[in-house]
Chains A and B, each alone.
Chain A
């Protein structure tokens, strides 16, 4: 009967801390980094998407000027453990003939001429011009054959793409 108030309270406190510590991420993921090259050259500003074949959130990364990427699921690092269908897509260049854009300054008014041209709906869809601009071959994106396995822990997965 020599249990003091202090030791009882510290016991209670540690139980509370243990309960709090139990709240964590339950998804089974592994961190993925790597390098993407096209014909031996590092691929800049390409988007690498790992889509789990068993279903689940896609993990997405964007390459830097050295072709390095790191996968994230909307801010959380890593991809689901398992096999993934991988697609490498690019951001397309602006069309030369596009309607000039409204400058992004607070003074710019929506009533400007360029804006009204857009608002009148005279601009056709950018699709036809853009479809031919995907510089990465379709076998790596829309008709992909790339399949990779992610294991828990750190994964390094490099892609050496060829354009022939």
Chain B
């Protein structure tokens, strides 16, 4: 009799096993749910990229050229550079903001504030300090310090496989290898490698703090090759070592600042790698990197308007080859990734 009643219930071992299985299933399901949420955010980011790609095409249809990476300001701020983002505003349904900026920037007007200005004025509060949803990828969170970061930009334009020419000396003596450069307006006809083979705009994340692998910037790299940038990652912690950008200067915080540090990236370090800087201040040569919080890679929009996911294992060639002052039409030494950035180097690209 006693035996029969015991048969009807569960033993301790059975209960423990059931609990263990439920634990395993929850462990499997919870990350899957999180992954589904991230997949949705990624789709939102790729939609923004597509819209920006179309905006570039519409800009090109109107002006017969693509916008420059950055242009000099008018009025009182002729030494300050203003970004391509302003030029795209009418094409992403932000025409009121574009008109407000134009009104402020007109030659005899008050002049635009510096791109890092976060002062309090009607103009600042209605235009300059407004975060535009099309410029933001929800996979990235907001940088903690917005003291000199008026407006978030999670999408940067490609300067190509080019680091040397990627600084803002006024009399630049040569064209760089990618589509975008300061004070240079390129037409689609200049992209002889093919619009579908050349990267135009890509993702960038700036949160996570100064030493974050993706959100930080390693300063004082003082070398000319991407290997020196990769060498700034501590293998144990996957954080940046040495001098890093200050917390008040996240590289995604100034949508209107027309310098490569804030609005450009180079196709030299493979995606989701470190971003590096020759010296200590924004004006030096900048080796920006395509970065995202999506697992495995980051998205770009090519010059033909197609959105593509670039994996972080893309062939990035021999990372220790130096960028040189005069590349003289050499094919990119940085593999397929470098070739995807150059607009007229004549590489054969196979994906």
Contacts and interface: CB of A to CB of B under 8 A. Distances in A.
Interface of A: 4-6, 9-10, 12-13, 16, 47, 49, 51, 55-58, 60-62, 70, 72, 74-75, 77, 85, 87, 89-94, 98-99, 101-102, 104-106, 108-111, 114-116, 118-121, 123-128, 130-131, 141-142
Contacts of A62: 231
A9 B224 CA distance: 59
Interface residues on B, range: 35 or more
Interface in B235-251: 235, 238, 243, 246-249
B279 A98 contact: yes
B7 to A, nearest CB: 11
Interface in B162-178: 164, 167-170
A101 B285 CA distance: 14
B194 interface: no
A58 B318 contact: yes
Contacts of B224: 127, 130
B127 interface: no
A6 B11 contact: yes
A141 B320 contact: yes
B283 A91 contact: no
Interface in B1-53: 10-11, 13-14, 17-18, 20-21, 24
Contacts of B281: 99, 101-102, 114-115, 118
Contact of B319 (A58, A94, A99, A109): A58
Given A110-B249, A131-B325, A142-B322, 14 more contacts: A6-B13, A9-B17, A12-B21, A13-B17, A16-B21, A55-B315, A56-B315, A89-B322, A92-B222, A110-B116, A115-B281, A119-B282, A120-B79, A123-B169
Contact of B230 (A60, A94, A108, A128): A60
